[in-house]
Structures are given as C-alpha cells and as structure tokens.
Amino acid sequence: MTRKTDETTLPAGARSRPSSSSEAVRSALTELGLSAFAIVLALVISALLMVTLGYNVALAYQSMFRGAFGSLHGISQTLLRATPLLFTGFAVAIAFRAGLFNIGAEGQLYWGALACALVALTVEGLPQPIAVGLPLLAAGIAGFLWGAVPGILKAKTGAHEVITSIMLNSIAIFATTHITSRYFKAPGAVDQTERIVAAAVMPQIIPGTGLTAGILLGVAIAALVAWFFGHTALGYDFQAVGRNADAAEYGGVSSKRIQVLAMGFGGIMAGVAGGIVVLSLLNRFVANFSPGYGFTGIAVAVLGRGNPWGVVLAALLFGALDSGGMSMQLFARIPSDLTIVVQGLVIILVAAPAALRAMVRWRKPKVEPVDVA
Amino acid sequence: MHAVELHDITKRFGTLVANKAVHLTVTRGEVHCLLGENGAGKTTLMKILFGLYQADSGSIRVNEKPALIRRPDDAISLGIGMVHQHFMLVPRLTVTENVIAGSEVSRNGFLDMNAAVEDITKLAERYRLRVAARARVENISVGQQQRVEILKALYRKADILILDEPTAVLTPQETDDLFEIIRRLKSDGKTVIFITHKLRETMAISDRVTVLRDGAVVDTLNTAETTPAELARRMVGRDVLLRVERPPSDIGEPLLAVRDLSVASRFGTAVESISFTVRAGEILGIAGVEGNGQLELEEAIVGLRKVSSGTMTVRGKELGSGPDARRMVGMAHIPSDRLRRGVVPDFSVAWNLILGSQWRSPFSRNGAFSRKQINEHAERVVAQYGVRCGSIEAPVRSLSGGNQQKLVVARELSRKPEVVIACQPTRGVDVGAIEYIHNQLLAMRAAGKAILLISAELDEVRALSDRILVMYEGRIVAERSSDAGESELGLLMAGHQAEAG
C-alpha cells in the first residue's frame, strides 16, 4: 500500500515545464543559500546555548572571527586546518557522485599517511619536488588500494560500502599502529616513525605560519575534480551510475567497474590528505594521529553538496571554526568543544534539507501565479 | 441531478498550473470520460475531488451540496471512490482482507472474516466482479486485481467511482469485461468518472466527455454527437492523423536473427526458445500482455540480460556481450521503460543525447569531452526531431513525457542504425508524439532498416507491423499477418490458443 509522495505523483505535466540553464544556476544558488542558512542558524542556536550557559556571546563570536580571519596568522591557521578536510571532503564527494557513501576516508587517510612517511624516509638526496612528490604518490596509491576494497566487495558480493568501509577504518587504524610499533618505531614512548628527510617536508608558502603548499594543491585538485565531472567521459560514467545505474548500464557503462573506481578515487584523495598532514604538519607518521579528518570529510562533502567548489568553501568553514574555536577558548573562556557543537548543528541542519526548506518557505510570501498556456 | 460539480478549480505545483479554472459537472448515473493527453491535468483534478490534493482555489459540490474535502476519508464519506492507475493492494493478503482493510467488520472486538467474505462475495456477484474472495491478491491476474480495487470502493458505499486510466494494464478481453462491469454499475445508478487518453474507449463507454488540455477544460460534449477526429483535435489542439499510412515496402535480406533464445528468470523461465528473423525494410511486431516475457526478451536482445541458451546474430554475425557490442554493429534500442533505462533524468538534454556514445569520437577524445561537438550534436538532433526543451542544458527531468520519449527516439535513430529494437515506443506519450514516433519508425522501415517492435498496445502493433508474433508466457504462440483481427489477436494474447487457432 505504498503511496508515492508529492514529486512522484505530480502529473507528468507538472514536471514538464522546460527549464533553462538559468534555472540550473538558480537551483545551485538555492542549494548554496540553504547551506549558508544552515550555518547562520547553527550560529544562532549556539548563541542561545552560550547565553543559557552564561557566556558572553558577542565576545565569543568576536574572538572566534578574529581567530579565524583577523590576522595573517589566523588566516593561515584556518587554511592549514582546512587543507586535510578539503581532501577528505573530496574523498567522500567523489564517491558520492557515483552514488556511493565513502565512510572509509579515515582508514584510507591512515594508509596514505603511513605509505607517505615510509617513502619520505628514503628520499634523501633527491630534488625537493621529487622528494615531496614521490611520498604523495605513494600516499595516493595506498589510499586507492584501501579505498577500492569496499568497491570490490560491493561489486563482487553486494556488501554495502557503508558497512565495509566503516569496518575497514578500524582495521586501518590498528594495522598502521601495529606496523609502526613493530617495524618502524623511533626510540621513545610514542608509536611513531623517525623524522622524514628534510627535502620531503612541504615548503611553507607563508614562512613562520606552518601553512604549506598543500592548500594550493587542494585548490588545484578542486579544479581538476570540477573538470573531471564536467568534461570527461569517465566523469560522465561516474555520475550516470550515481544518478541512474540502469540507464548507465544501458549506455554501456559497467556500474561494478565504476563502483570500484569511484571508491578508489575517493581513497586517493583521503590518502593524499594523510600524506599532506605527514609532510607539512607531523613530519613523521604518528600512530592514531588523526582527530577524525576522514569523518569530518563526510560533513564537508555534505555541506558542500558534492559540488567541488562547495567542498572548498565547506572545508574553509570547518577550518575557520577550528582555528576560531581555539581563540574563542583563549579569549572568551568558552570551551572549544562548543565549536564541535556548532559543527554538529551545521551538519544536522544541512542533512535535514526538508526542514530547512520548510523554514525558508514559511518566511516567503506565496508564489506568484504563472500562466501555463 | 448533479453528482459532482467542480467550480473554478485551480491547482498549482510551483510555477506550473496543473488545473486552470476548471469547471466540471457530472450528472448522476452517467459515465463521464475525462479525456486528455498526459499532463493535461486529468488525474490532478480527480485527486482534488478525492482529497489527495487541495485545490488552491475553487469549490466542490457533491450531490448538489457544498463539500469540503480535505482527505480521502472525507471523499469516501461523501460516497466517492477512486481506483488508481497503480493499484494500492497488499499482495500477500487475500481479496477480502484487502477490501476490508480500514473498515473491518468486527464482532465483540474480533474480526469476523466469514461475514466479511460473505459480504464481499455478494457484492461481487451483484456487479459481476468475478473474483474469489479468499484468493491471495498476489495469485490473481491484473484484471482481477482491478476488480478488487473496484470492490474496495463499492464496499465503502461509493456512489461516484473514479477510474484512473483503468484499461492501461488490461488485455482487450479484460477491457471488454471492465466495460461490462461499468455498464452494470451505471444501470445500478452509480456515477462513473473515467480518466483516459484513448479515443476509442471514450467513444465506447461514455455518455458525455470532457476534454482537458494544458490543465483547462476545452469542452464538454455528448459522446453520441461527436467523432474521434473531433475529440482528437480538441485534445491536441490541431488535426491529428489517427491512422498512420503504411505503404508497401521492399523486404530484403535478414538483418536480425534470433534462434532458440531462452532466458531464465528468478521464478523459472521468462523466455522459452524463441526464434524469429527480422529483415531489412520490415517491422516485426511482438504483441502480448505485459509481463509475458517481453522485458526479458528485450533485455536479452540488447545485451542487458544474460541468456540461458540460443544465438542472436546481426547480418549473420553473432553478437558479443553487452550493449556496447550491439551499438558497434548498428543496433539501436528504444527501451520499454524510458525513465529507468532510457534517460538519466538529472542529466541535461545534451548529455542524454550522447548516452552510449560518451566514449566515442567526436564527443570525446581520449576520454575528454568536446563540449562543442556535444552541444552541436544536441542542437542539431533537437531541431531535427522536434524535441521541445527550454535549452539543451535543461535537465531531461524537466521535459514532458512525450518529449523525453522523443529524445530517446531521436538519440537512437540519429545513430543511423541498421536494426532498431523499439519497445513500448509510445508508452505514456501524447497523441501528437505517438503520430510522430510511428512515422519515424515507418521512415526507418522505408530506408531498409529492420525493426523489432515489442508493444503491449495492440493497436500500435497492428498499425505498424508487417508480421505479428504473439507472445504468451514466454513463448511465441502464434504468427499472424498484419491484417489479423483484433479479437483473434486478443484471444491469443490471453492464452486462448485453441479457440483462436
């Protein structure tokens, strides 16, 4: 006794008005607007929370904003924190375009980081571009291989990628810890490798701030992803499988192959994220280093609505919340945990687009009648 | 005495006006057809009457009293029943259980199933709705399921019955049975509102007909005083050729040959050792009620489904696996389910027009698209085949069903194929587009291509085909020439081999 809900029960004609590309732009803007609205709403709700708990909201947001954007140092901190999220965001968003939910970015990130560090230990004497490039390549390959596993499992056995990629996260975290402590442990209490060779450390683009070329690579990747989805046959196949797998099959696309590739490509992004953290922040592999870059990547992808530039903006926002949260704690004496609350609220609000739309519509006047004839 | 009066009903979905100041008066005890193309607003209007949608403005009177209908419950208590195009039945429950669900008879708080079975059997006999009250819905035919839906409405004391495209799923014989039932309902004083886009049915069953176009009423006519041609003109807004011309054609060499093809399904055999040949300049029609293995046959031929045994050749060469191998040898495929297979609704018109050629020159080189080539191709094809879309960048989702289908036809025929597999090519398509698609297929025939037409529309098969095969339960049960009678084919489609033989 299923009754289809509104969109599907509209008469054919209700969906049949030819639209134009301006409509596509408008809907993209609406999407962007909804994300922005979600952010504002999250900040308002957090403000109410702060008031309830007796904090000074104005001071809190002021110091948050200053911390994130108020100085060169703040901006670099924001960008620095945004960099790994940018890549893990893509790790999720790319698979998402092919209709797959890559929850495994965290595990892919660990393998990428370990592979990167191990290669970066050996590139002594190579020119810097190669000394940086080779470890990143290793990170990408490791991420691809680990990322492809859920894709293969799905293609071969139908196992759902969400379940398998979650499980593979734990395996990756423990396996990388074990490998490090057993075979590559540097002297000391911490399970970590030796320091990578100096030539493999990513060059800083603003000296003294710790901000490295990783962010530039991220922006380049965003452009590459946008091109991939807009202008290549493989990108077409990805989206065809994501949007209508039956029609893709009709068009000669093997959806199983695409599933493996899409998860693998996502894995590359997460692997490179791990590599960049190693080459620009840690300068070695440290067991259990990630504060959840891979998981935050899911939120980044959702907030960016799978759009490459949306992912960039979302990563910047999360980076800003992170760096702003630090200074909020410092100057307004508000636990930086509150930024996690803000992030959580943004995600909930973005993940509930229907509720948001209802709120937006509720504020809008009635639609103008348009004649159809 | 008016059973239903709809006054000035307007309904919008976003910017689209689905119903525009509609006036409709249905007299008590008549069969009133709502005639219009897909998207004309027929179903929307009736869903408003049944309380599934709310009109933005306008008023409703039922039995000459103002009626406020907010939910289907309100409509039911006013004596209105609706049989939807897609049945709303629970397959695992019995006929009786389905009918009483929501209005169960109980005694001391317990369900009195025997009393219910008795009631329903009586009700069914009264209107000759032959169906076994204790049978499970999953085990009865589609025609019987429809009777269960009618019983559901009658059980709830409906005096006004809305039937939404009721014949779409029926064989010709079942349609005749349904018309018999409708006449009985009418003679019992019931009012029937019959939604359809088929002229012949309108002429056959209705007392009066209201024609809708683009959400507005064009006219209400007495059926006895009008003609199919006049109705078609009002429906489409221009003159329409109701019958396509099928000139004689030079039939040439065999292009597509299928030998002993069998296809397994989850429940056994879907297609059982089917053999046929389609020659150049020929349209071979496969008639049959849906669900008799046509989908499996279609998908096997075009490489989307595994074959258990048998061979398929084009120009004597055996086909490789997958749809790509078919395209390489010049096979085009108009799939039976365009929204499932034929288009990616979220993709633009331009992108949908290269589906299947996305890796081929000139659209892509080494996997990189040439936007210029893709757009030029789209502009050309859209213009040549008259696909109405806002722009080639518009998502296909935004096109009407008829234009989506035209787009699929345009894409497939613009490949310059040798063999065309056309499956349900005009399903859910308006009269104007049907005419157009039929003429395109005939043009392919005249150009010496081989066309396999698989369709559940018997009229379509008869109008276009040079030869007709009838498919029943996975087998070809008969071959007939194009002048075979409708009733003979109808019986064969229903599995009456002996009587028809």
CA B420/CA B284 separation, integer angstroms: 10
Given a cut of 80, whether residue B323 has pLDDT beyond it is: yes
Contact by Cβ (8 Å): B24, B61: no
pLDDT for the residue numbered B90: 92
Of residues A13, A18, A250, nearest to B40 (C-beta): A13
Q: Name the average pLDDT for chain A.
A: 86
Do A11 and B403 count as a contact with CB atoms less than 8 A apart? no
Listed residue (B1, B185, B154, B146) closest to B79, CA to CA: B154
> Is residue B431 over pLDDT 80?
no
Residues 332-371 on A with a CB inside 8 Å of B are 367, 369-371
Closest CA to B271 of B472, B496, B495, B493: B472
Nearest residue on chain A to B21, alpha-carbon basis: A371
Q: How far is CA A159 from the centre of its chain?
A: 24
pLDDT of residue B295: 92
pLDDT at A96: 93
Find residue B12's DSSP bridge partners: B17
CA B158 from centroid of its chain's CA atoms:
27
What is the predicted pLDDT for the residue at A14? 34
Task: Quote the pLDDT of residue B406.
Answer: 92
Is residue A31 less than 8 Å (CB to CB) from chain B?
no
Helix (H) or strand (E) holding A362: helix A353-363
pLDDT at A34 over 80: no
Chain A residue whose CA is closest to B89: A1
Measured between beta carbons, which residues in chain B are less than 8 angstroms from residue A372?
16-17, 20, 214-215
A233 touches chain B (CB under 8 A): yes
pLDDT band of residue A358 (cuts 50, 70, 90) is: low
| pTM, two decimal places | 0.78
Task: Report whether pLDDT(B231) > 80.
Answer: yes
Q: Which residues contact B359 (CB under 8 A, 6 or more apart)?
A: A233, A252, B367
A306 Cβ partners below 8 Å, 6+ apart?
A93, A96, A97
Phi, psi of B133 (to 5 degrees): -65, -25
What sign for the dihedral angle of Cα B198, B199, B203, B206?
A: positive
Closest CA to A312 of A231, A217, A230, A234: A217
Q: Are B83 and B162 in contact (CB under 8 A)?
A: yes
In the prediction, which pLDDT does B74 show? 94
Nearest CA to A72 out of A269, A205, A165, A217 is that of: A205
CA distance B437 to B426: 7
DSSP A196: P
Query: Under the phi-then-psi rule, with left for phi > 0, alpha for psi from -120 to 50, and beta for the rest, what region is B158?
Result: beta
pLDDT for A19 equals 36
**What domains, with CATH codes, occur in chain B?**
1-79+159-167+184-239 (3.40.50.300), 83-158 (no CATH), 254-500 (3.40.50.300)
Count other Cβ atoms within 10 Å, centred on residue A268. Answer: 25
pLDDT score for B235: 86
Position A20 confidence tier, pLDDT thresholds 50, 70, 90: very low
Q: How far B403 CA lies from chain A's nearest CA (Å)?
A: 9
List CB contacts (< 8 A) between B355 and chain A: 240, 247, 250-251
Burial of B139 (0-12, 13-18, 19+ CB in 10 A): exposed
Query: pLDDT per residue over A157-172, tens digit each?
Result: 999 999 999 999 999 9
Which residue from A96, A92, A85 is spatially nearest to A315, judged by alpha carbons? A85
| ipTM of this predicted structure | 0.82
Segment A258-268, tens digit of pLDDT: 999 999 999 99
Mean of the per-residue pLDDT values of chain B: 90
Q: What is the pLDDT of residue A311?
A: 93
Q: Is the pLDDT of residue B443 over 90?
A: yes
Residue A179 has pLDDT above 60, yes or no: yes
Report the percentage of chain A scoring pLDDT > 70.
86
**CB B131, CB B98: distance < 8 Å:** no
Query: B171-225: per-residue pLDDT in tens?
Result: 778 888 999 999 999 999 999 999 998 888 999 999 999 999 888 999 999 999 9
Taking CA atoms, B243 is separated from A263, B213, B232, B435, B450, in Å, by: 53, 22, 12, 8, 22
Q: Which of B355, B394, B401 is the closest to A18 by Cβ?
A: B394
Question: pLDDT category, B280, cuts 50, 70, 90?
Answer: very high
Q: Which residue has the tokens 């018109």?
A: B349
B370-388 pLDDT per residue, tens: 999 999 999 999 999 888 8
Does the structure show a pLDDT above 70 at A25?
Answer: no
Q: Do A372 and B304 touch (CB under 8 A)?
A: no
pLDDT for residue B54: 92
pLDDT band at A123 (very low <50, low <70, confident <90, very high): very high
Instruction: Calculate how close chain A gets to B453, using CA atoms only, in Å.
Output: 18
Rounded to 5°, the CA angle A172-A176-A181 comes to 150
pLDDT of residue A209: 81
Provide the pLDDT for residue A15: 33
DSSP string across B326-344: HHHTTEEEE-S-IIIII--
* Closest Cα in chain A to B351: A236
Q: Do A17 and B398 touch (CB under 8 A)?
A: yes
Report the C-alpha gap between A47 and A28 in whole angstroms: 29
Residue B98 has what pLDDT? 93
Whether residue A183 is predicted with pLDDT greater than 50 in this model: the reply is: yes
Greater model confidence, A312 or B239: A312
Q: Please say whether the beta carbons of A90 and A311 come within 8 A.
A: yes
Given a cut of 60, is residue B42 above it in pLDDT?
Answer: yes
Instruction: Name the pLDDT band for A4 (thresholds 50, 70, 90).
Output: very low
Q: Residue B33 — φ and ψ, nearest 5°?
A: -90, 135
A240 by DSSP, 3-state: which? helix
Place A26 in a pLDDT band, splitting at 50, 70 and 90.
low
Q: Are A24 and B394 in contact (CB < 8 Å)?
A: yes
Question: What is the rounded CA–CA span in Å between residue A275 and residue A136?
Answer: 6
Cβ–Cβ < 8 Å for B445, B281: yes
Question: What distance in Å separates the CA atoms of residue A111 and residue B285, rounded to the nearest whole number?
Answer: 58
Residues of chain A neighbouring B38 (CB-CB closer than 8 A): 11-13
pLDDT of residue A362: 52
CA nearest to B367 within chain A: A233
Check if the beta carbon of residue B4 is closer than 8 Å to that of residue B26.
yes
Residues of A with Cβ-Cβ distance to B393 under 8 angstroms: 20-21, 24
Question: Considering Cα of A234, then A236, then A237, then A241, what sign does the dihedral take?
Answer: positive
CA distances, B205 to each of A206, B176, B180 (Å)? 82, 10, 9
Quote the pLDDT of residue A41: 87
- Give the model's confidence band at A351: pLDDT under 50 very low, under 70 low, under 90 confident, else very high: low
Measuring CA to CA, how many Å separate A20 from each of A98, A280, B309, B352, B369? 25, 45, 48, 15, 22
Where does the pLDDT of residue A9 fall: very low under 50, low under 70, confident under 90, or very high at 90 and above?
Answer: very low
**Average of pLDDT values for B351-367?**
94
Interatomic CA distance for residues A74 and B14, integer angstroms: 45
B304 vs A contacts (CB less than 8 Å): 249-250
Cβ contacts of B361 within 8 Å, gap of 6 or more: none
Cis bond before residue B362 (omega within 30° of 0):
yes
